[in-house]
Chain A
Amino acid sequence: MERLNELTIAEARAKLDANEISSVDLTQACLDEVRSLNGSLNAVLETFEEDALAAAKQSDARRGIDGTRNGVLDGIPVVVKDNILVQGKHSSAGSKILSTHIAASDATVTRKLKEQGAVILGRANMDEFAMGSSTERSAYGPTKHPRDVERVPGGSSGGSAVSVAANFCVAALGSDTGGSIRQPASFCGIVGLKPTYGRVSRSGLMAMASSFDQIGPMTKTVEDAALLLSAIQGQDTLDQTTSDHVAFKADWREKLGGLRVGLPRQAWGEGMSEGVRSSVLAAVEQLKSLGAEIVEVDLPYVDEALAVYYLLMPCEVSANLARFDGMRFGVRKENLPLFETYAQSRAEGLGPEVRRRILLGTFALSRGYYDAYYVKAKKVQTLIRRAYDAAFREVDVLLTPTAPTTAWKIGEKIADPLAMYLEDIFTVGVNVAGLPAVSVPCGTSEGLPVGMHLTGKAFDEATLLAVARAYEASAK
């Protein structure tokens, strides 16, 4: 018999509705799996066992009385990344400076999950303040790859990705600023969706780079990603950048006739491993057999998008992380004058990657350099958005690998920040342009999962996920 914690959202929903399983049993199965495997994987920083079982019990009671449910997620155990607030619970964003921090309120996505009856199972490990591509940069130790504990799971949402891949939960939430949902999803062989900027409220998500950050689903199937996105989307008065655009609604199709899939010429050159290339090209053939028309398109500024990202993101980081100064929350160095209190609290509480990005951003925003760096990057950002707009006049979705390689060995890239940054080449453009994109598993290379990266038009997650799901179904 299939173990309960291996179920997808859709499967668990059907079994709960048919009274074949209870939410308490489902939740307990997940907690048991965390207990037996998390010691070696370090994906979950904390389980909310008592509250989770209480929520599961309430869900079972609701269904038992008159079969009501608060939403499609009612009774489903979900893990959230450690930068998403859950009221009354520790929330550290993987940082030492927030080791004592307790969330005073729920993030909007947390509130929505709770209102719909979801069981918040625990919080997932992550690179400190979501800065990293490997989850080696957590103050609470690295998360390990579920298939090979000597390898990284990707990042920064590595804890969420491993929680889903190792069946610690039914689904998870991550956050994506430059690929932090999609790249770990690719490395761990699950589905990761970054919604269009403005689709999901960022209220209660600890800000890294506010103009790029977006919360999204990390799930076992494309259908689950759609279910979870439906649950968390929507305009929110607490986040003025959320859009009043018409809500996402799944629009599945079995065949892809009439759809045009674009392969950006500039992305398919050198710089990706042969295993990744052949797996993703096989997926392209699969899409063709489903009726999709495959065309090559121009998408200039691929390298420039990475440069724009690694310039603008640190600028926003340096501003957003100014609040972590040991004053109102977090860890403070005591008995020092004011300046030293700030400087030493931050030096001690923030890790090397975070400090590096703060320095970079401070530089690019400083007098004499602002126009040459920040403003220049904002202009190139306009050109990048236009390049995507032009490509989307020719095609419905764009296709690349999610990452140039599969999961690498722990420690392999940690000493060379630029090498780590180059891993984000296929994912950052989407954040720079504010578009939706999904990573879907497409085979393995030397036993490690490979991800196919599909990018859609703004607010057209429906087409994006329809292509992803048709592929997923045909690849089974």
Chain B
Amino acid sequence: MSLSREDILKLADLARLELSEDELVAAEREVGAVLGYVERLKDVDTDGVEPMTMPAKAEGWRVDEAFPCDDATRELILSNFPARKDDLLKTPAVFTAPKK
């Protein structure tokens, strides 16, 4: 299947990706090419076949407990914040008018 300009724009919107005009053109072509390749799965008879979950079943759940974080580790986490006010993460305002 091929994707239209509109389809790509919607996906970019969902994925929070801004695309330039050139990138839109490239995405239409390249995403379409890969989808063309994976189309072959439609020809495989999967009647009565269960979807695979994970290659390994989940084991070894960890106890949900609070554990102390040493100051050095804490500072490393905080130092990765792109914007910071004291020990708080600074973000743009969440409640603004939506894009659409």
Contact with B along A310-332 (1 / 0, CB 8 A): 11000000100010011111111
Let me know if B80 and A197 touch, CB within 8 A. Answer: no
Stretch of A8-16, A58-66, A108-116, A232-240 at the chain-chain interface: A232-240
B1-33 residues with Cβ-Cβ distance < 8 A to A are 3, 7-8, 11-12, 14-20, 23, 26-27, 30-31, 33
Q: Which residues of B contact A350 (CB under 8 A)?
A: 17
Using a Cβ–Cβ cut-off of 8 Å, how many residues does chain A contribute to the interface with B? 79
Most buried by A among B7, B18, B40, B61: B18
5 contacts between A and B (CB under 8 A): A104-B73, A236-B60, A337-B93, A356-B30, A382-B49
Interface contacts beyond A104-B80, A243-B59, A346-B18: sample of 9 additional A-B pairs, CB < 8 Å, sorted by A: A104-B76, A105-B76, A211-B55, A238-B62, A240-B60, A328-B82, A346-B17, A373-B41, A382-B52
Task: Give the contacting residue for A366; candidates B14, B79, B83; CB below 8 A.
Answer: B14
Q: Which residues of B contact A (CB under 8 A)?
A: 3, 7-8, 11-12, 14-20, 23, 26-27, 30-31, 33-35, 37-38, 40-42, 44, 46, 49-52, 54-56, 58-62, 73, 76-77, 79-83, 89, 91-94, 96, 98-99
Most buried by A among B3, B44, B76: B44
B89 to chain A, nearest CB (A): 6
Task: Give the contacting residue for A359; candidates B8, B40, B44, B60; CB below 8 A.
Answer: B8
The B interface is mostly helix, strand or loop, or mixed, namely loop
B36 to chain A, nearest CB (A): 8
- A255 is an interface residue with CB less than 8 A from chain B: no
Let me know if B18 and A418 touch, CB within 8 A. Answer: no
- A228 is an interface residue with CB less than 8 A from chain B: no
Given contacts A241-B56, A355-B23, A356-B30, contact A375 B51 (CB under 8 A): yes
Q: Bound state CA distance, A404 and B90, in angstroms?
A: 50
Let me know if B60 and A242 touch, CB within 8 A. Answer: yes
Let me know if B41 and A344 touch, CB within 8 A. Answer: no
Let me know if A359 and B31 touch, CB within 8 A. Answer: yes
What 3 A-B pairs have minimum CB-CB distances, sorted nearest first? A434-B55, A378-B51, A198-B56
- A358 is an interface residue with CB less than 8 A from chain B: yes
Let me know if A362 and B55 touch, CB within 8 A. Answer: no
Let me know if B55 and A105 touch, CB within 8 A. Answer: no
Given contacts A346-B17, A434-B56, contact A360 B34 (CB under 8 A): yes
A136 to chain B, nearest CB (A): 16
Let me know if B31 and A363 touch, CB within 8 A. Answer: yes
Let me know if B80 and A101 touch, CB within 8 A. Answer: yes
Determine the residue in chain A with the shortest Cβ distance to B95. A338
Q: Which residues of A contact B91 (CB under 8 A)?
A: 327, 338
Let me know if B16 and A359 touch, CB within 8 A. Answer: no
Q: Which residues of A contact B (CB under 8 A)?
A: 87-88, 100-105, 197-198, 211-212, 235-244, 301, 303-304, 306-308, 310-311, 318, 322, 325-332, 334, 336-344, 346-347, 350, 352, 355-356, 358-360, 362-363, 366, 372-373, 375-383, 385, 417-418, 421, 433-434
Let me know if B62 and A417 touch, CB within 8 A. Answer: no
Q: Bound state CA distance, A342 and B30, in angstroms?
A: 24
Let me know if B60 and A237 touch, CB within 8 A. Answer: yes
Q: Bound state CA distance, A376 and B62, in angstroms?
A: 32
Let me know if B40 and A328 touch, CB within 8 A. Answer: no
Task: Give the contacting residue for B56; candidates A88, A243, A301, A382; CB below 8 A.
Answer: A243
A378 to chain B, nearest CB (A): 3
Q: Which residues of A contact B12 (CB under 8 A)?
A: 343, 359
A242 to chain B, nearest CB (A): 6
Q: Bound state CA distance, A90 and B99, in angstroms?
A: 35
B46 to chain A, nearest CB (A): 4
Let me know if B61 and A343 touch, CB within 8 A. Answer: no
Task: Give the contacting residue for A344; candidates B18, B46, B54, B62; CB below 8 A.
Answer: B18
Q: Bound state CA distance, A88 and B75, in angstroms?
A: 10
A311 to chain B, nearest CB (A): 5
